[in-house]
Structure 1
Amino acid sequence: MTARPAVLVVGDVNTDVVAVLSGAPAPGSDRPARIRSHGGGAGGNVAAHLARAGLDVVLAGCVGDDAEGTARLAELAAAGVRARLRVVPRAATGTVVSLVEPDGQRSMLADRGANLELVPGDLPSPVPGGHLHLSGYALLDPRPRPAGLAALARAAAAGCTVSADPASTGPLAAYGVDRWLADTAAVTLLLPNAEEAALLTGCADPVDAARTLAARHRAVAVTLGPDGALWAAGRAVVHRPAHPAAVVDTTGAGDAFAAGVLSVWLRDRGTDPVHALDAGLALAAEVVARPGAR
């Protein structure tokens, strides 16, 4: 059996407050909702899923010196993650409020809190020949950006493969496409959704966007929501349909897809991309069928 590489995940750790709404919008009045708090954050989600899949995972990030930070640390430890999270004095742990419509689509209100305090000194050394997964949020704000760049540089020096997700179209557009492409030139596996792929390439068609990105990276996996996902390497493109799911909450679906893909791809870099895509789509289908990102 192929050895399982050590994985360093760098990214946000949050508390997700998920409000699953029911009924029609009621401006100025009350609207019924089911509200729950869960562990979240792109870094925390991917790390937890990978650890549950049996990989050796270290998570680097920051939490606040509050009850939420303590709870997130305990959650991640229970999932099998080796958390290297600096507790930032007088800072609040990141919080995202997710408003989920009856069809499962959501809008998010983000307070990144202590996540913005990430610095290069928070990063453990990558295992030579291991893997770095970088959440794009680590690059998209000027405060943690030096840490994100340091993670990429250290991974390259250690001969690691690297995966990255572009995070979100709004902050990505504000950050600048050209700057993102330059910063992430050494990424081995890029994991955008269709909107992010279109923004990065200017291609409206997801297949064209995937091929364009695959000219820059060894492989690209593009999520298409209910239409499944694409894998592009060179000029070859593989499509797989989404797995059936009764959608309750799409929060964390992209993180679950990324972890599912990585759980297969990291075990056998020569694997058939169909297996990697199916693993990602299966895990995403599990996550969207319940409230919360994990």
Structure 2
Amino acid sequence: MAARHAVHPDHLPVIDGGRPPVVVVGDLVTDVVVVLSGEPAPGSDRPAAIRGRGGGAGANVAVHLARLGTPVVFAGCAGDDAAGTGLVAELGAAGVVPAVRTVAGAATGTVVSLVEPDGQRSMLADRGANLALQPGDVPAPTAGGHLHVSGYTLLDPRPRTAGLAALAAAAAAGCTVSVDPASTGPLAGYGVDRWLADTAAATLVLPNEAEARLLTGCADTPAAARALAARHPVAVVTLGADGALWASGELLVHRPAHPATVVDTTGAGDAFTAGLLSVWLADPDGDPVAALEAGLARAAAVVGRAGAR
């Protein structure tokens, strides 16, 4: 029988004297981070430092938001195993209110991140229980609140219904909405036109450079940012080592990345999202530079160590 941790989706907590929390919808996984040393050695051994940590794009954003002082509820699914129990406890310890359904007979998701000596990584994903997300798993939105949807929720037909229901409910309640497209490979397979239609009501979209070009067909990244800003009130495009772009209306703002010694880029985009949201949500009409700088600062802190948090 399925169980639920901490908060029922029909009873969203009210925090800070009536201010509704941010609701983050996405994956909760164990990240197995493999930091490789030396040169590739096909058919032989290669030294590596291997650690298991909490991960998942949605859960990462939620944890960073909580650590930055933003009230946040994370909605997702875990397996009925020790990994799921530990990950939910980790969310609570970080200050996140978990609305996590335990899926009987399912394994908690696992992502193996292979990190090269230059910090670049490739991912091997088994999403496990995350694929069982249902519309009833997501807390009902509260007027004046904010919904953040990790794009992975939309890119598979099983949790897609839950993601679409959350987006529709947030729009109906007058909430602001942010969406991260997630990854170019699954996004291309899902279909650009389909994704753009699904996320048409988003207030803020947060693609990386490759995703922005894929979504718009623009070869030039600033042009891609402007094209997305013609569809949404705000588009923020992350540029890796080159920083980030903010586009809204006729405004285009670039900020360079903060200096960092790169150890592992896993979760850098999630950290950036949380840093930017923590400032933007406090003052949506404020200075875009401040929001970008907050995101870039959080990303720089994360890439300087192994793991997404």
Instruction: Give TM-score scaled by structure 1 length.
Output: 0.98
Please say if 1:101 is aligned against 2:95: no
For 1:122, which of 137, 143, 147 is the aligned residue?
137
Q: Deviations over 1:110-168 (max 9, x none)?
A: 00000000000111111211000000011000000000000000001111000000000
For 1:72, which of 68, 87, 104 is the aligned residue?
87
Q: Deviations over 1:69-128 (max 9, x none)?
A: 011011100000000000001101110000000000000000000000000011111121
For 2:46, which of 13, 23, 31 is the aligned residue?
31
Q: Deviations over 1:242-283 (max 9, x none)?
A: 000000000000000000000000000111000000000000
For 1:61, which of 44, 58, 76 is the aligned residue?
76
- The answer for unaligned runs of 5 or more in structure 2 is 1-17
The answer (yes or no) to whether the contact 1:228–1:242 under 8 Å persists in 2 is: yes
* Aligned residue pair count: 294
Q: Deviations over 1:148-190 (max 9, x none)?
A: 0000000011110000000000000000000000000000010
- The answer for unaligned runs of 5 or more in structure 1 is none
Which aligned segments of 4 or more residues in structure 1 are displaced greater than 6 angstroms? none
Please say if 1:209 is aligned against 2:219: no
The residue number in structure 2 matching 1:188 is: 203
The answer (yes or no) to whether the contact 1:5–1:55 under 8 Å persists in 2 is: no
For 2:175, which of 155, 160, 163 is the aligned residue?
160
> Percentage identity across aligned positions?
75
State the AA in 1 paired with 2:50: I
Q: Distance in 1 between matches of 2:160 and 2:140?
A: 17
The residue number in structure 1 matching 2:244 is: 229
Q: Distance in 2 between matches of 1:208 and 1:244?
A: 26
Q: Distance in 2 between matches of 1:62 and 1:228?
A: 33
The answer (yes or no) to whether the contact 1:4–1:266 under 8 Å persists in 2 is: no
The answer (yes or no) to whether the contact 1:21–1:101 under 8 Å persists in 2 is: yes
The residue number in structure 1 matching 2:8 is: none
Q: CA deviation at 1:205?
A: 1.1
State the AA in 2 paired with 1:38: R
Equivalent residue of 1:144, what SS? helix
Instruction: Give TM-score scaled by structure 2 length.
Output: 0.94
* Aligned-pair Cα RMSD in Å: 1.2
The residue number in structure 1 matching 2:9 is: none
